Structure 1
Amino acid sequence: MQNKSFNRLKLALSGAALLAASQIATAEVIVLDFEGVGDGANINDFYDGGTDSLGNSGVDYDIAFGTNTLGVIDADAGGSGNFANEPSSDTIMYFLTGTAILNYLPGFDTGFSFFYTSSTAASVFVYDGLNATGNLLATLNLSAQHTDNCSGDPSGTFCNWTAVGASFAGTAMSVDFGGTVNQTGYDDITFGSGTAGGEKPVDVPAPMGLAFMALGLGLGLRNRKPKT
């Protein structure tokens, strides 16, 4: 009888450990929706324990953006963005000069994904080194689709959003969003999943039973003001 009871306890604890592991895996999926970033602000360290160029701060995910990477708010919400039908609220990511690179200091695996709107073909590259160095782990190809089949919110030119994602082996450290200056917008950038807009990280409390067992865009995306 004692051995049977011990085996039942081992099975229960094993089940609790598996459930806890699955909850941790879910929590590792991170989605950046850029809400809170200022209109036209350099994103900078908004997601890295600091602020954007206008002093706004977000959740510290140890994700740092290059100085070319900007946030822009939909004109319908009082910003300067020439876009519509964005997948989450009113703010997206884009850039006006150079290229946009982000560094994910802890690294991420499994997959990478996002929504985009673009007036030109482009590519996004995932690397296993910082600052777009090291081995290329994944390439995501984007098409020119920004005005295709738009409905519901026609006040912005960049009105069609497409989800794109890739799975890969290895640990990624950086993403290069290519040379799509002022022609491509990004939203709901997702780390740890090939499905854009995956679950955002949450603290999942263990059920009571388990707790007891554990005790045992300018030309495009942004509208520029006319010169005076």
Structure 2
Amino acid sequence: MRYIKALLGGAALAAMLPTQAAIVVLDFEGVGDLASLDDFYNGGTDSAGNSGTNFGVIFTDTSIGYVDADAGGSGDQANEPTPNTVLTFEFSSNDIMNVPAGFDTGVSFFYSATEAVFIGVYDGLNATGNLLATIPLVKQFNIGCVGDPTGDTCNWSPAGAAFAGVAKSVDFSGAGLYVRFDNVTLGSARPVPEPSSYLLMALGLTAVGLVSRRRMRR
């Protein structure tokens, strides 16, 4: 019984981890296939009428939700970090994510790219103001793919940048249909585990502690 209580205590500690309060992860699940994201993460809807959590994040109408073909969508991806929907863009000079309230520390994501491109982070809306960071992406979409047997963009790499100040927009222009994005993370220079991963980690540490205590008593 004491062990069960200890494990439950570990779960409670995981739920209270402070890093989650400052970090936002956009996994694009719920966005319609081929729909533009628009206000999906801003208290509104995507172009297909679907709504997500209101994080105060706005995408221009050149953004595209790609649902994996294995799940009945149009996407050519495989092994995406959070199945089944990813983000891509039309070829445009206006492929932008705006965060009017701003965010600090860093931005990151997983990507699969068929061409090398650069992503810019700005302290003004619509890719204006000062350039806070540049994130280079390399062509790596089909390197060492395993697992999911279907999908051309099957290799996913983490990318991101830390910066000083407050960012209000990320410019994906130039990425276009060359790149797929998943788990776009605001507030961290590295994509972070989902809360469930923290829970499993906390439970694992608690279990290790219990085993160690039992061995010491012997």
TM-score, normalising length from structure 2? 0.79
CA deviation map 1:138-170 (0-9, x unaligned): 110000000000000120011000001111110
Structure showing greater radius of gyration is 1
Q: Counterpart of 2:57 in structure 1: which amino acid?
A: I
- Partner residue in 2 for 1:58: 52
Aligned-residue sequence identity (percent) comes to 51
Measured in 2, the distance between the counterparts of 1:170 and 1:198 equals 24
> Aligned-pair RMSD on alpha carbons?
1.7
Measured in 2, the distance between the counterparts of 1:26 and 1:181 equals 30
| Match among 154, 178, 187 for residue 183 of structure 1 | 178
Measured in 2, the distance between the counterparts of 1:111 and 1:198 equals 15
Measured in 2, the distance between the counterparts of 1:198 and 1:111 equals 15
Q: Which runs of 5+ in 1 are unaligned?
A: 1-18, 201-228
Between Structure 1 and Structure 2, which shows a larger proportion of helix residues?
2
Give the stretch that moved more between structures: 145-154 or 178-187: 178-187
Question: 1:105 deviation in Å?
Answer: 1.3
| Match among 107, 111, 118 for residue 116 of structure 1 | 111
Aligned 8 A contact 1:122 1:178 in 2: no
- Partner residue in 2 for 1:216: none
Distance of aligned partners of 1:105 and 1:24 in 2 relative to their CA distance in 1, 3 Å threshold: farther
Question: 1:26 deviation in Å?
Answer: 3.0
- Partner residue in 1 for 2:144: 149
CA deviation map 1:54-109 (0-9, x unaligned): 00000001100000001010000100101100000100000123141010111000
Measured in 2, the distance between the counterparts of 1:163 and 1:178 equals 19
Measured in 2, the distance between the counterparts of 1:110 and 1:198 equals 17
Aligned 8 A contact 1:26 1:199 in 2: no
Question: 1:199 deviation in Å?
Answer: 4.5
Q: Counterpart of 2:28 in structure 1: which amino acid?
A: F
Q: Counterpart of 1:172 in structure 2: which amino acid?
A: A
CA deviation map 1:180-210 (0-9, x unaligned): 221110000000001113556xxxxxxxxxx
Measured in 1, the distance between the counterparts of 2:161 and 2:72 equals 34
Measured in 2, the distance between the counterparts of 1:30 and 1:180 equals 22
- Equivalent residue runs for 1:35-74 within 5 Å: 35-74=29-68
Measured in 2, the distance between the counterparts of 1:129 and 1:198 equals 28
